[in-house]
Amino acid sequence: MQPFVLLGVTGGIAAYKSAELCRLFVKEGYAVQVVMSRAATRFITPLTLETLSGRPVHVRMFGSPRSRVEHVELGAQANLLVVAPATADYLARCAAGRANDLIAAVTLAFKGKVLAAPAMNTNMWENPVTRRNMDALSSLLGWQFVQPGSGELACGSTGPGRMAEPGEILVAAKQLLRRDLEGLKILVSAGPTVEDIDPVRFISNRSSGRMGYAIAEAASRRGADVTLVSGPVSLPCPQGARLVPARSALDMERAVGERAGSCDVIVMTAAVADFRPAEPSDHKLKKGKAEEERVVRLVRNPDILAGLGKRFAGARRPVLVGFALETEDVEAAAVSKLKTKGAHVIVGNLARDAFGGDRNEAVIVDDAGLRESTGPVTKSALAELILSLVAARLGRAARE
Ligand code: CTP
């Protein structure tokens, strides 16, 4: 089926480049629906984009005879929303959850992937508020950005802020529209496990689940049948993925084990607790009057990934991907975990980056000798990278 792209154009001088972008999308075979802000229409006429896309361009929030809930309907069919140029003001409004014009409302109502190509004056680009807004959009909503280039800007100054070239935006959009995992069954584990001491107390860890959810989201978008086995986190289940909640390591072991045999790929991002209380109480534990010290005896939890490594030793499938969370010497630890866990791929990262922040600097190692440092990347970008590696292993696509 022909991909359907919503092309948002907001009001900056770079709007003239949107015409070329629209033409490239159409040439690529995409159906394109353009939505413009009113300010954008001062830089480029809707007629230009209407002619190139072959569809009426939407600008106004009210008064359209076409649909009663246009902002919802416009996005309902689209596979991707590309906003180019994305002005500082548009990004700020989206980060604040505003819906004060059609393009902002369409964006807020859109449930799919968003790719934005910021364009603005250097000072606006470098303003920490703009950075904060972009970080929020990327970490909360998984937005991806095509970074602006450096050069002469419309205001006469020189510096970063110039919108990326249409060809570059097309490449990023193509990556987000690929369906190279179609027909594959992928299981992703995510989040922390929670090990109960009694009905009101537990031992857990600070895993946010964001890495696993980013992988589940990307895998599902790329066409895989995704099951997400997740410890308790406060993230919405990505569109298209099947959520299987699991609280403790033992729950997670069961949930993963029951499904593992039918999977092509298993990605263990979960921060599984290595130990659990030996005797969890079914009633709330009370403190004794003179009790100054309490010892909670812990016993080892099963290593789920190592268990899978043993169970599927020598088999090509499922491809087993594990994570190694370290405080130092990431690559050496990742290589050693390849062996001890019997995994095909290990993604090593620093605890400092992995918990909380949106950016990771990972080292990916595999059983064929790959040793690759990613540099600082967002969790979304890292998810795409890992899946491309897996796709290549399964003969799905050349690595990008
Ligand atoms: N893992 C698992 N079961 C466990 C512990 C970890 O399946 N009981 C998986 C994780 O999901 C991850 C990988 O093993 O994919 C590595 O987890 P990590 O916490 O880095 O390593 P550990 O095996 O716990 O080793 P250590 O904490 O001693 O470094």
Distance from the alpha carbon of residue 272 to the mean position of ligand 1, in angstroms: 6
Residues contacting 109, CB < 8 A, separation 6+: 71, 72, 75, 99
Cβ of 305 closer than 6 Å to ligand 1, yes or no, is yes
Cβ of 49 closer than 6 Å to ligand 1, yes or no, is no
Distance from the alpha carbon of residue 271 to the mean position of ligand 1, in angstroms: 7
Distance from the alpha carbon of residue 304 to the mean position of ligand 1, in angstroms: 8
Residue recorded with tokens 């948002």: 8
Distance from the alpha carbon of residue 261 to the mean position of ligand 1, in angstroms: 21
Cβ of 135 closer than 6 Å to ligand 1, yes or no, is no
Cβ of 103 closer than 6 Å to ligand 1, yes or no, is no
Residues contacting 202, CB < 8 A, separation 6+: 194, 195, 196
Q: What pLDDT, on the 0 to 100 scale, is given for residue 63?
A: 66
> Residue 80 — left, alpha, or beta (φ > 0 → left; ψ -120 to 50 → alpha)?
beta
CA distance 391 to 138: 24
Cβ of 101 closer than 6 Å to ligand 1, yes or no, is no
Domains 4-177 and 185-399 share a fold: yes
CA distance 44 to 53: 14
Ligand 1 atom closest to the CA of 301, numbered from 1: 8
Pocket test for ligand 1, best of 194, 248, 305 (most atoms within 8 A of CB): 305
Pocket test for ligand 1, best of 188, 215, 269, 274 (most atoms within 8 A of CB): 274
**Are 382 and 165 contacting, i.e. CB atoms less than 8 angstroms apart?**
no
Q: Which two tokens stand for residue 230?
A: 């997740």
CA distance 40 to 46: 9
Ligand 1 atom closest to the CA of 273, numbered from 1: 8
Output the residue whose Cα is nearest ligand 1's atom 24.
Answer: 274
- The SS3 assignment for 197 reads strand
The residue ranges of every structural domain in the chain are 4-177, 185-399
Cβ of 322 closer than 6 Å to ligand 1, yes or no, is yes
Distance from the alpha carbon of residue 268 to the mean position of ligand 1, in angstroms: 9
Cβ of 325 closer than 6 Å to ligand 1, yes or no, is yes
pTM for the structure as a whole = 0.89
The candidate with the shortest Cα–Cα distance to 44, out of 87, 85, 105, 103, is 85
Report the alpha-carbon angle 173-179-181, nearest 5.
Answer: 135
Cβ of 372 closer than 6 Å to ligand 1, yes or no, is no
Is-catalytic flag, 155? yes
Residues contacting 28, CB < 8 A, separation 6+: 170, 174
Output the residue whose Cα is nearest ligand 1's atom 12.
Answer: 323
Catalytic one among 94, 155, 237, 263?
155
N- to C-terminal Cα separation, the chain? 23
At 22, give phi and psi (nearest 5°).
-60, -45
CA distance 377 to 131: 15
The CATH number of the domain covering residues in 185-399: 3.40.50.10300
How many CB atoms are closer than 10 A to CB 398?
A: 8
Pocket test for ligand 1, best of 195, 268, 311 (most atoms within 8 A of CB): 268
- Per-residue tens of pLDDT for the chain, all 400 residues: 789 999 999 999 999 999 999 999 999 999 999 999 999 999 999 999 999 999 999 999 876 666 666 777 888 889 999 999 999 999 999 999 999 999 999 999 999 999 999 999 999 999 999 999 999 999 888 899 999 999 888 878 889 999 999 999 999 999 999 999 999 999 999 999 999 999 999 999 999 999 999 999 999 999 999 999 999 999 999 989 999 999 999 999 999 999 999 999 999 999 999 999 999 999 999 999 999 999 999 999 999 999 999 999 999 899 999 999 888 999 999 999 999 999 999 999 987 765 656 678 899 999 999 999 998 888 888 999 999 999 999 998 754 4
Protein fold of 4-177: Rossmann fold (3.40.50)
Q: What b/e string do you get for 147-174 counting C-beta neighbours within 10 Å, with b at 16 or more? A: ebeeeebeeeeebbbbbbebeebbebbb
**Are 219 and 238 contacting, i.e. CB atoms less than 8 angstroms apart?**
no
